[in-house]
Every structure is written in C-alpha cells, then in structure tokens.
C-alpha cells in the first residue's frame, strides 16, 4: 500500500460523487468510500484502489501486482486525477466569496490525457450518464478483460486508431463522432497529441479545435480535465450563461479575469453553487 497526502480542506464527498456520475462501467467503480479502476501504463496492466483517510489527510493507494513495476507513474497519475498538489488556501484567497460555500472543491483531472480526450468527444451533445455508457461500450469493444477480474482497461490509441467508424456508430454515436475519435487516436499514435500539459494552454486549445469534431467547448473542457489546466473558463457554457444572465460572452470573460490564475476552480464553484449570481460592479461596464 502507498500513501499520498493532501492539504485540507478537501471535499471528498463531492469528488467521489463527481467521479461516480461519470464512472465508465468495466473501467471504474466508485463507492461512498473509495475509487477503483483499471489502468494500463507502459505495457503494464492492473487495478488501482484509492481510499481517503480523512483524519490523516492521506490517500491510501493499493496497486495490483501488474502495476507495481510502474508504481511511481501510477501514483503521479492518481495525484493528478485527485488534484492532490493543490494549495486550497492559495486558491481561496483569489476566489474570495465565490469559494466560501465549498472551500474543499478540487479540480478533477484524469489518469490519461488520451482517455480524457475520448471521453470529452463522447460527451458532446449527450448527458453525463450517456457519455459514460458510450465510453463503457467503447472500452468493452476495444480492450481485453483483465485476468481474474470483471474489469477491462480503457482502449489504447493503437486499438482505436484501427477502428471501423461504422462499428463505433453501432455503439450509439454519430459517424462524425466516430471519425473524430479515430482521428484523435491516430494523432496520438503519431505522437501529435500532447499527453502532457502544454506550456501554452491557449495555443494548444486552439490547435485542438483544428481537429475534426472538436469545437471550442470540447477543447476547453478537455484542457480543464485532460491537462488539468488551472486557468480555463468557459463563457459559452450553457450553465455559465444562465448564471451570468444578461451578459455577453465577452462580458463574462472580462468578469472572470478577477479569478486568474485559478479560473478553472472558479468555473467549478459556479457550476456547483446553486443560486450563485455575479456581483454588480463597474468592471464589466462598456464591454461589447
């Protein structure tokens, strides 16, 4: 067993609920107390189970035997998924009143950028639960079961790069979306998809939007989770436009500059703080 620590406060109930709503059948299992998933890394495959110890502010991590040779990489990915390196006090100082309702909110990352890219594309124009179901169907179709378990690993780029668009369509997605997944996989195989957080997030998000089937919202959401970019805001998001009723995207973008460099956290707080509304001030006046 391995131990990873975090700085309190940490809203574990919210994090586990967030992951549970998006859990991919066959890949992830989330309960009220822990998170278990399959994982493949550098040719090694196995299961990861994490359980938060709230008193010790530590995450207890169990790796199956197959992942022990890449334990350090697994722990690094787990830390990214659960945003364990976050300094919540630093974030809260910038967010001010916005962070008061949920001071322990963290930014859910991902275990693998390519996997998150696939899941972001599958999530276009469908509900959260349907996106998870589609991802589960893709995983079941394009990966082999882990020995002596009921789990499969998420498909590799090489597996999806060879997929037939019509076979993917049969799983319940439009052909264009299937083609977008295949193109993403092919670019990952070719080494043209940034698996690590780019130094210039804005340019990288614009580059993503040149790929088939990836628009601005998908690119931004992927950056938020796949690269765990800390300073991304989505002024065109449906719920954000509701929260900022009567304001244009330009005005919303201007308003959000007060939360730099932690706009990703601000976005989550606005999404998950029922009834939140922006304050009336002079900062947005005159913006077209």
Domain-wise residue ranges, the chain: 2-99, 113-225, 238-284
Domain boundaries 113-225, corresponding CATH code: 1.10.340.30
Q: For residue 243, what are the CA distances in angstroms to 61, 152, 249?
A: 38, 39, 12
Residue 94 has pLDDT above 80, yes or no: yes
Q: Which residues are catalytic?
A: 237
Q: Domain 238-284 is in which class?
A: mainly alpha
Question: Over the stretch 188-220, which tens digit does the pLDDT of each residue have?
Answer: 999 999 988 899 999 999 999 999 999 999 999
Residue 221 has pLDDT above 80, yes or no: yes
| Domains 2-99 and 238-284 in one fold | no
Q: State the pLDDT at residue 272.
A: 94
Residue range 79-95: mean pLDDT, rounded:
97
Q: State the pLDDT at residue 261.
A: 97
Going by C-alpha positions, the residue among 170, 163, 194, 149 that lies closest to residue 29 is 149
Strands 28-30 and 35-41, how do they pair?
antiparallel
Assessment of whether the complete model's pTM goes beyond 0.85? yes
Domain boundaries 2-99, corresponding CATH code: 3.30.310.20
Query: Could you give the count of Cα atoms lying within 13 Å of 242 in the half-sphere of its Cβ?
Result: 10
Band the pLDDT of 275: cuts 50, 70, 90: confident
């Amino acid at each position: 067993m391995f131990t990873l620590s975090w700085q309190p406060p940490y809203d574990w109930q919210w994090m586990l609920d967030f992951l549970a709503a998006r859990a991919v059948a066959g890949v992830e299992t989330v309960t009220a107390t822990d998170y278990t998933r399959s994982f493949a890394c550098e040719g090694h495959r196995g299961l990861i189970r994490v359980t938060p110890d709230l008193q010790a502010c530590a995450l207890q991590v169990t790796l199956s035997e197959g992942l022990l040779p890449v334990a350090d990489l697994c722990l690094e990915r787990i830390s990214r998924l659960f945003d364990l390196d976050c300094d919540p006090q630093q974030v809260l100082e910038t967010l001010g009143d916005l962070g008061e309702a949920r001071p322990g909110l963290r930014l859910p990352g991902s275990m693998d950028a390519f996997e998150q890219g696939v899941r972001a594309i599958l999530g276009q124009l469908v509900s959260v639960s349907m996106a998870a179901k589609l991802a589960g169907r893709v995983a079941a179709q394009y990966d082999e079961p882990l020995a002596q378990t009921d789990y499969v690993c998420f498909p590799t780029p090489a597996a999806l790069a060879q997929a037939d668009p019509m076979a993917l369509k049969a799983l319940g997605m439009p052909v264009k979306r299937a083609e977008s997944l295949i193109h993403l996989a092919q670019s990952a195989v070719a080494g043209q998809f940034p698996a690590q957080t780019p130094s210039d997030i804005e340019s990288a998000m614009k580059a993503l939007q040149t790929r088939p089937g990836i628009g601005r919202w998908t690119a931004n959401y992927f950056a938020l989770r796949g690269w765990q970019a800390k300073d991304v805001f989505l002024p065109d998001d449906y719920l954000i436009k509701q929260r900022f009723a009567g304001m244009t995207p330009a005005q919303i973008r201007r308003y959000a500059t007060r939360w730099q460099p932690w706009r990703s956290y601000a976005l989550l707080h606005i999404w998950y703080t029922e009834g939140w509304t922006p304050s009336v001030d002079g900062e947005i006046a005159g913006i077209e």
